[in-house]
Amino acid sequence: MALKVRELTPWFGAEVSGLIRVETLDEGTCRELQQLMKDRELLVFRDFDIDRYFQNYLCELLCVDGQPDTDVVASNAERQSGFYISNTREGAAAPFGELMFHSDATYSTGPYEILSLWGEEVVPPVVPTRFASVTRAWDSLPDALRARVEGRFAEQTNQVQNRGGEGDRLLKAIREERTITTPVGYVNPRSGRTMLYVCSMVTKGIVGMDHDDSEDLLGELFAHTEQPENVWTHEWRNNDLVVWDNLAVQHARPDVEEGGPVRTLRKAASPAVPAGLVPQQSYGTMVD
């Protein structure tokens, strides 16, 4: 299968064309897509009409070597049959509000490895999704800032932090608090590359620092990660598929208003459920 690849930014992201949906991709195409994900961390497929099974197939393909287990793919697709981000679909997650930069389930012992969103119903003008590479953020850290975070750890939480957003418009999950401690310079187990593993949405603080000093340091790290040259913005169209390395790339969105244009994105991930978490969580609406 002949794929065409166009880089989205100099550091991460690629738009891929020429992929044809078949029951099982040939070995050469599998290897090419797997290498693209390792190198570029985020892949975009425009005008790609696929079902949930194939979306889950690609997610599983991009976090394994070789062919994915079709039984695992089918199980993941079934478990995630109601997995949507939508302001109109009943029961969907994150219907309204702003999302600051984050990786999903950072606070779990085994976060999602691969995430994807597919534009099932998008009515322009619709709120985009923004992406930032924390691999590039680590690689480009100024020496003085790197020296301040070398060897330090961060506390990650499932509670949305009220910083850098629109306050009462931020999306807040309604659940019992869960936290985990991770290195600030965290090595991606898939790629072996070090990432700046903190985010404005769910990093609670730097371990061993008082609150004000921690917030000052985190503010500098967030500003560095979210600088315009390290952010790519996806403007949604129907049948767009975006797949990314959830550890290496953070995502965010501006405020989705109640009653705004239809924005229904079908979500798929691998693994089906992050380690230590229950399959379903409840979310707030306008308080987010």
The tens digit of pLDDT for each residue in 5-54 reads 999 999 999 999 999 999 899 999 999 999 999 999 999 999 999 999 99
Proportion of the chain above pLDDT 70, given as a percent: 91
pLDDT tier for residue 169 given thresholds of 50, 70 and 90: low
CA dist., res. 147 & res. 226, Å (int)? 20
Residue 275: which of 158, 107, 153, 154 has the closest Cα? 107
Report residue 35: phi and psi, to 5°: -70, -40
Q: d(Cα 215, Cα 45) in Å, to the nearest integer?
A: 38
Q: How far is CA 23 from the centre of its chain?
A: 26
DSSP-derived 3-state class of residue 259: coil
User: Which residue, 272, 234, 286, 288, is CA-closest to 98?
Assistant: 288
For the chain, give the percent of residues with pLDDT over 90: 81
Q: What pLDDT does residue 273 have? A: 80
* pLDDT value for 194: 97
Relative to beta strand 14-17, strand 4-7 is antiparallel
| Sequence-distant (≥ 6) Cβ neighbours of residue 260 within 8 angstroms | 87, 126, 127
* CB environment 68-85: b (16+ within 10 A), e (fewer): beeebbeebbeebeebbb
Phi, psi of 16 (to 5 degrees): -115, 130
The sign of the CA dihedral 161, 166, 172, 176 is positive
Compute the residue count for the chain.
Answer: 288
List, for residues 224-270, the tens digit of each pLDDT value: 999 999 999 999 999 999 999 999 999 999 999 988 999 999 999 99
Q: What are phi and psi of 180, to 5 degrees?
A: -150, 150
pLDDT in tens, 77-104: 999 999 999 999 999 999 999 999 999 9
Residue with tokens 């994807």: 116
Alpha helices in the chain (DSSP H): 27-40, 52-61, 70-79, 134-139, 143-149, 211-225
CATH 2.70.150.10 fits 4-270, yes or no: no
User: Which of 99-103, 126-130, 276-280 has the lowest average pLDDT?
Assistant: 276-280
Residue range 107-124, pLDDT digits in tens: 988 899 999 999 999 999
Nearest to 238 by CA among 96, 49, 79, 104: 49
For the chain, the domains span 4-270
Q: What angle do CA 157, 134, 3 make, to 5 degrees?
A: 125
Residue 126 in tokens: 């619709």
The predicted model scores a pTM of 0.92
265/130 Cα distance (integer angstroms): 14
